[in-house]
Amino acid sequence: VDETVAEDMQKLEENFTGISEKYRLINRIGEGTFSTVYKAEQLGLSLEDDAENQNQEAEFGMPLTRKRKHPDPNRSRFVALKKIYVTSSPSRILNELELLYELRNCPHICPLLTAFRHLDQVVAVLPYFRHLDFRLYYREFLTNDLRHYFLSLFSGLAYVHKAGIIHRDIKPTNFLYDHSKKQGVLVDFGLAERQGTDWQPCLCQRTKEERRERFLTSYAVQHLQSQPDLLSGGYPKNDARPSRRANRAGTRGFRAPEVLLKCTAQTTKIDIWSVGVILLTLLGRRFPFFNSADDIDAMIEIASIFGKKKMQGVAAMHGSVFETNIETVGEKGFTLEKIVLWASCREKTDDALHIGEAQAVNLLAGLLELDPHKRLSARQALEHEFFTNPIE
Ligand code: ADP
Ligand code: MG
């Protein structure tokens, strides 16, 4: 163990006496923007019959007990201790714990065992889930591996979405996948929110006809038409419109177009787009697939695949405008099959997609659908032939 890690672990044990009595810290296993995660061994009795846990429940003012409908019989004695940084606001920490509690009965979601607080620091205790680093396997996945991986991921998401919750940060490091068990669990509900929490009207909520009408008379369009020279370097330089406020939380490269376009009525479909990016990464064998520095670049990257025309359509849908003079963005775009063949360097060989891969690409098209209304839901994805009629 690294010296600074050892120091941090010691500090944690000193601050949280309740933790050092129950767990032996082993190592740091993750470090993100909002937390540090340690692997630890549970000492002595299991939490189930731990009277002290009641104190914890009183502390957080909510049940933290682990009575799950599907207790995992071979739950290991290892846990993951997620130390949430104090920079996270208290309401945000509570939000994460509450959502984890609400979702505790799904076998595809890593449940919360208990939580500890010391001053403004909070440590969430989760069962340790064995998994490999995505970077170690994304090039090796066979079609059947894809099936198991996404079956698990969609099952978890279907449960989250049924509860009306948007995860908001779907990406490989937040889906821990165990190859030997062919099972994965969703983690990290730090950005998750209930759909509709901060909704403002967005054009996309209206009918197509209404949208067209409203869009053509919108300030944005008229403003742009009156000042064509506004468009230089790919996007408006002096955009005088009041900036729109919308939740943009998530990770670069995994944000759905409607998030990039600041749609103010985002839905669970934003998670589906992110799953699409993971599938594209695995099929194309490139990680990260999208590597933009900011939201504008991200739009350009997506536009390079789908073409300018479709991007303009989707921008208009959310009451926004997309314009670019960047040469790599064609008018029409490419099929996802082409993109996958190109990304996996099989474009110039005669190596066409085999049937299983073609099924996966067909599913991909339903996930990376620019229009969130047409994009598949997690339930619909689970009914796709890629899962229901698997061909090698
Ligand atoms: P952050 O908000 O910092 O991203 P996460 O909950 O995503 O926190 O955890 C960060 C990393 O810690 C994960 O990517 C994973 O590698 C590891 N991790 C988190 N929870 C567990 C767990 N239950 N079992 C094993 N590893 C975990
Ligand atoms: Mg994370």
Give rounded-to-5 percent helix, strand, coil for the chain: 40, 15, 45
CA nearest neighbour of 287 among 324, 248, 254: 254
pLDDT by residue (tens digit) across 235-261?
A: 444 455 556 788 888 898 999 999 999
Q: Is the pLDDT of residue 88 over 80?
A: no
Compute the distance between CA of residue 188 and CA of residue 51 in angstroms, rounded to an integer: 27
Measured CA to CA in angstroms, residue 228 lies from 174, 240, 315, 318 at distances of 43, 14, 18, 21
pLDDT in tens, 337-383: 999 999 999 877 767 899 999 999 999 999 999 999 999 999 999 99
Structure-token pair, residue 174: 């937040």
Alpha carbons 126 and 38: distance in angstroms, whole number: 10
Q: Is the pLDDT of residue 230 over 60?
A: no
C-alpha torsion angle, residues 372, 374, 377, 383 (rounded to 10): -160
Most confident of 37-46, 72-81, 202-211, 275-284: 275-284
Residue 133 has pLDDT above 50, yes or no: yes
pLDDT reported for residue 1: 81
Could you count the other beta carbons within 10 Å of the beta carbon of residue 238?
A: 8
Decide if 329 contacts 304 (C-beta within 8 A).
yes
- Examine the pLDDT at 234 and tell me if it is beyond 50: no
Nearest by Cα to 146 from 269, 254, 283? 283
The reported pLDDT for the residue numbered 235 is: 46
Q: pLDDT digit string (tens) for 38-81? A: 999 999 755 454 555 666 777 777 766 555 554 454 566 899 99
Q: What is the ipTM of this complex?
A: 0.99
Helix H segments across the chain? 3-15, 17-22, 53-60, 90-102, 143-162, 208-216, 219-226, 257-260, 269-284, 295-306, 308-317, 336-343, 355-367, 378-382, 385-388
Bridge partner list, 118: 121
Measured from the CB, is residue 149 less than 6 Å from ligand 1? no
Compute the distance between CA of residue 206 and CA of residue 16 in angstroms, rounded to an integer: 52
Question: Can you list the positions of beta strands (E) in 72-200?
Answer: 78-84, 114-118, 121-127, 165-166, 175-178, 183-186, 193-194
The verdict on the CB of residue 30 being under 6 Å from ligand 1 is yes
Q: Are 27 and 80 in contact (CB under 8 A)?
A: no
* Å from CA of 30 to ligand 2 middle: 8
128 CA closest ligand 1 atom index: 24
Neighbours of 146 (CB within 10 A): 20
Q: Tell me the pLDDT tens digit for each residue of 9-20.
A: 999 999 998 899
Query: What's the confidence (pLDDT) of residue 219?
Result: 60
Mutate which of 72, 76, 82 for ligand 1? The one with the most ligand atoms within 8 Å of its CB, which is 82
* Ligand 1 pocket mutation, candidates 129, 188, 189, 278, criterion most atoms within 8 A of CB: 188
Task: Give the global pTM.
Answer: 0.89
390 lines ligand 1 (CB under 6 A): no
Q: Ligand 2 center to residue 176 CA distance, Å?
A: 10
Nearest CA to ligand 1 atom 17: 30
CA 167 to CA 174: how far, in whole Å?
10
Nearest-CA residue for ligand 1 atom 5 is 188
| pLDDT at residue 231, as a whole number | 44
* Catalytic annotation present for 351: no
Q: What's the CA angle centered on 214, arms 213 and 215, to 5 degrees?
A: 95
Query: pLDDT value at position 75?
Result: 60
140-152 residue pLDDT tens: 999 999 999 999 9
